[in-house]
Structure 1
């Protein structure tokens, strides 16, 4: 009888632990999704802009997923302009997106390294990044910026959406090209 009670107690304890186990970390899953895409290239264009005369209008936009020891870098080319890179890292605070802007000689633009941390509610395929205080100070009006980066279930479509004051400002839709690999 004691052994049956011991087994029931252990089973009860195990069931309680399983019920309170933390859910998988969607931020870590998102980063793992990006890491599984190392070397893949995406190309497309501007699907929406608040300003139809945007510098992105009518230009091909492309990027590739470069994996580094520090995180994920996605150099963004707009037409011939190669001045932008999206940088995803995993600081202690969670998951971060930064926008690195450079001049043709490689020196930093006056407006660079803006972005923020992923908010709550993301998934392994989609995360929304909320502008931080440094961004709000650097870019007037950007205190409400939210950047959402999403990947289709089959990994062939990458979408980047910028919202400000809860209204869309720009959206890029990029499709995987070259079978997804750059050969590196």
Structure 2
């Protein structure tokens, strides 16, 4: 019996090592519609575009009176970093990530000194394949807990959508009684904005 164990042990260890190695090298699960969505945005990497509020059923804010710019600033095979500038406010960066089970959208909010805002890294994760032009990100559990902590429980129902068409990129937030939407003109790139707060220049 002991001899059998001695013989099997290196075999089992070898299989485990092979399995772990294979998992480490395995590519992320590929969902064609999400890959197409991701690649469309990635193809615009390095460019900046002017936006405008087209829907906002809340009282007027800086979004309605400031210059709005999205900058597709850094792109890898698994992550897109897209600062969203509101006038001189460079505190916001959208981060879209391939997770292996879909796409994640996070909102990285920073102060001018680079430190994180108390309300940061909230967002959501896709629940279905979506379309090459449209992906939806319902609020994830981290975000719901954060909204409760910050005493804005109405935001638990947040859902974010992003649309991309040849001439327009759209960022949209909805929940019960609330809709906010910004359209960016992809037909004309503009001068790049300043480095977003908390990020390096390169």
Alignment of 1:174 onto 2:176: no
Q: Distance between the aligned counterparts of 1:24 and 1:136, measured in 2?
A: 26
Unaligned runs of 5+ in 2: 1-29, 148-152, 193-201
Paired with 1:180 and 1:61, the residues of 2 have a C-alpha distance of 11
Alignment of 1:13-32 (within 5 A): 25-32=32-39
CA pair 141-55 structure 1, distance change in 2 beyond 3 A: same
In structure 1, runs of 5+ residues without a counterpart are 1-22
After superposition, residues 11-160 of structure 1 pair within 5 angstroms as: 25-69=32-76, 70-139=78-147, 140-152=153-165, 154=166, 156-160=167-171
On the 8 A contact 1:75/1:84 being kept in 2, the answer is yes
Deviation readout 1:45-69 (Å, 9 max, x if unpaired): 2112121322312211101112333
Q: Tell me whether 170-179 or 120-129 shows the greater mean CA deviation.
A: 170-179
Q: How many residues align?
A: 158
What TM-score comes out, normalization by structure 2 length? Answer: 0.71
Distance in 2 of aligned mates of 1:24 and 1:99:
23
Deviating above 6 A after TM superposition, structure 1's stretches of 4 or more consecutive aligned residues are none
Q: Contact 2:52–2:183 at 8 Å: present in 1 too?
A: yes
User: Normalised by the size of structure 1, how large is the TM-score?
Assistant: 0.77
